[in-house]
A = this chain, B = another copy of it.
Amino acid sequence: MPVPPNIPRPTAKRLSYYLRELEAQADLGTKTISSKGLGERLGLTDAQVRKDLACFGQFGHPGVGYGIDELTGQLRRILGMDRQWTAVVVGAGNIGRAIASYGRLADKGFEIIAVLDDDPDVIGLRFGGHEVRPATDLESVVREHDVRIGLVAVPAGAAQRVADNMIAAGVRGVLNFAPVRLAVPDGIAIVSVDLTISLEQLAFKLTLGMPSGEFGT
């Protein structure tokens, strides 16, 4: 079962949540979980869970449920979490520092190769074991370590330029924390996280009294 076929977008979003929940269950020592059980913990129907997982093969056991270790392994493989990912952070402001200091990333297979900034006052400081290097090192860092992922943690005004530089240097995917939409060429993956927008969504739910659906928000 080498490459999965065409996956519905909403399914793709839920996969990571399945994995997170399965790992939590594994820590609790549970060995098996049903689509109903998994769905309940995630606010999904049992049918939804089964349909999602069935996209990739049949790893359930009728009458029993899903083996947690087995399914975890499958999901890790599907999501690409069975390999190591290399990443570079540009921007050593508040967000960049928080990322650099966030230990859990390494456990999950994301290795931060370097943290860069162009502010001379910041270069040389250390965060989470990374000494901040000059932004001009970007290209050599990416090339030498074959870095695949770039994290944009600079202010909005610099974000597009930084992303362009990353991509020019060879990065294949960008995680953007700046509050702008970045234009990227075809074939480059992008995901954005915007604190202000998350807060706005929350405020909007509050003003409306919306039902608390979760995913992707």
Contact = CB atoms under 8 A, between A and B. Distances in A.
Interface of A: 4, 7, 9, 12-13, 15-17, 19-21, 24, 41-43, 78-81, 85, 87, 94-95, 97-99, 101-102, 104-105, 108, 110, 148-149, 172-175, 179-181, 184, 186-210, 212-217
Given A16-B200, A95-B102, A187-B209, 13 more contacts: A13-B216, A16-B201, A17-B197, A20-B181, A43-B181, A87-B199, A94-B97, A94-B101, A97-B97, A99-B195, A105-B199, A181-B214, A189-B210
A195 B110 CA distance: 11
A181 B17 contact: yes
B200 A79 contact: yes
Contacts of A186: 212
Given A94-B97, A181-B42, A172 B206 contact: yes
A20 B201 contact: no
Contacts of A16: 197, 200-201, 204
CB-based closest 7 A-B pairs: A216-B216, A80-B207, A189-B205, A94-B98, A98-B98, A16-B200, A191-B202
Contacts of A217: 13, 191-192, 216
Given A195-B193, A209-B187, A217-B192, A13 B102 contact: no
